[in-house]
Amino acid sequence: MSKVKRLTNVWTYINDMQKFTIKELSEEFNLSAKTIQRYLKELNKMGLPIQAEQGRNGGYRVLNNSYIPPIIFTEKEVMTILFALKSLQGYKDKSMEPEVNSIMRKVSYERKSNIKIGIENIKRYIDFITNDGDFKSSDVTEFFKASSESLILNIKYKRGNQILEKSICPIGIYSNKGTWFSPVYDYKSDKIILIRINKIIEIKKVGKSKGVHISLKEWLDTVYNNLYGTMSATKKIGETIYLNVLLTKEGVSKIKDSFYDLDIESNEDGSGIINTLIKIEEVDWYVSILFLIGSNAKVIEPKFMNKLLYDKANELRYFYEENMV
C-alpha cells in the first residue's frame, strides 16, 4: 500500500474517531508509534487540525472533524465543480460567498495545463443571473437539515399582509426560477403543503418526527403526473408532440415584433396558426412565449399545455396577492 493511501486511511479513521491515542492507531494500522507520530505531523501540515491532550488519559483529538480526506478529481470533474460553483455566485445572498470563493481557489490553483485555460474561460465567459428576491441561504440550510433529519419546525411566515404560524416537517427543498420551495407536512391540516422559503420570518426546532412522510422525489413525481396527465407516462425526453395554436391578428403581430423565430401560417385576415412538431423538452419554452401573448393565443393541442398556462397565471396572481398593500 502506498504512503498516500495509508495517510488517507489514517485521516479517515481519526476524523471519524475524533479522539484517539498513538497506541490505538498503531494497533489499527499495524504501524510503529514513530511512523504514526510522523503521519500525524504530516496530516497537521496538510490542514487537519490535530491537538495533543494532556493528562493521565491524554492522547489526541481532531478539533473539527468536518474535514474530509484529500480527493483526486479528473479534469472533467474539476470543470463540473467550477461550473456549479459559478452558478451559486449568481445568487444575491452572500452568506455562502466565503466558502464558494475558498473552494474556487482550491480547485483552480495556479499551474500550467489545459484545465487552467478551461477554468479561466468559465470565470470569464459564463455567468448566471438569478431572480432570487429575498433568498437567504441560512433558511434554505435549515429546511435542508430539517428534511434530512425529519425535524419538526414551528415557523412564522408572511402570506399577503398576514403573519401565519404553522407546525411542519419538511420533506425536501427545490429551486424553481431562483425561488426556493419546500413541500412540508402540515400537522394542522394533516397534508403536504408547499412553502416558499423566502417568505419565512422565523424558524424554531421543536423535536423529531416519528412518522414517515412521502419523499421529495415521490411528491414531485405525483405533482408532475397530475400536471402533465397521461403524457408524462407516454413521452420521454427527445420525443416529439404535435403543437397547434390559433393566433389572433394581435397575437401574430406580437410574435413578429419579438425576437422569437416561430413558424406561423398566416391567414388573409391577419390571424395565424402555429402548426408544428416540437420536442417534449421544449414545452416550457413555448408555454413562456404563449403566456406573454395572453388571450391572443389559443392552444388546441396538446391539451395539457392549457393546464400549464393556467398554473402560470395562478403563480402571477399569487405573486400580486402576496405583495398587495
Q: What is the pLDDT of residues 75-107, one digit of tens each?
A: 778 778 878 777 766 665 566 677 777 777 776
**pLDDT score for 83:** 80
Give the 3-state DSSP-derived string for the chain, with helices as H, strands as E and coil as C: CCHHHHHHHHHHHHHHHCEECHHHHHHHHCCCHHHHHHHHHHHHHCCCCEEEECCCCCEEEECCCCCCCCCCCCHHHHHHHHHHHHHHCCCCCCCCHHHHHHHHHHHCCCCCCHHHHHHHHHHHHCCCCCCCCCCCHHHHHHHHHHHHHCEEEEEEEEECCEEEEEEEEECCCEEECCEEEEEEEECCCCEEEEEEHHHEEEEEEEEECCCCCCCHHHHHHHHHHHHHCCHHHHCCCCCEEEEEEEECHHHHHHHHHCCCCCCCEECCCCCEEEEEEEEHHHHHHHHHHHHHHHHHEEEEECCHHHHHHHHHHHHHHHHHHHCCC
pLDDT of residue 61: 82
For residue range 257-287, list pLDDT tens digits in order.
Answer: 776 767 788 888 989 998 888 888 788 888 8
Q: Which residues of the chain have pLDDT under 70?
A: 1, 54-58, 64-70, 88-96, 107-116, 119, 123, 127-137, 160, 177-178, 212, 224-238, 259, 261, 318-325
Phi and psi, residue 70, nearest 5°? -60, 140
Give CA–CA dist 312/40, Å, rounded: 58
pLDDT at position 266 is 85
Which pLDDT belongs to residue 225? 62
pLDDT one-digit tens code per residue, 224-242:
665 555 444 445 555 778 8
- Global pTM? 0.50
- CATH number assigned to the domain covering 3-62: 1.10.10.10
Look-up: residue for cell 465543480? 81
Can you give the residue ranges of every domain in the chain?
3-62, 75-125, 137-215, 229-319
Picking from 73, 74, 77, 48, the residue whose alpha carbon sits closest to that of residue 63 is 48
The mean pLDDT value of the chain amounts to: 79
User: Does the domain made of 137-215 have the CATH classification 2.30.30.520?
Assistant: yes
**Alpha-carbon gap, residue 299 to 241, rounded angstroms:** 13
pLDDT score, position 115: 65
The pLDDT score that the predictor gives to residue 4 is 79
Determine what percent of the chain is predicted with pLDDT higher than 90: 15
Instruction: Show the CA angle centred on residue 27, arms to residues 26 and 28, nearest 5°.
Output: 95
The burial of 246, by beta-carbon neighbours within 10 Å (0-12 exposed, 13-18 middle, 19 or more buried), is given as middle
What local confidence, expressed as pLDDT, does residue 230 receive? Answer: 46
pLDDT the model gives residue 35: 92
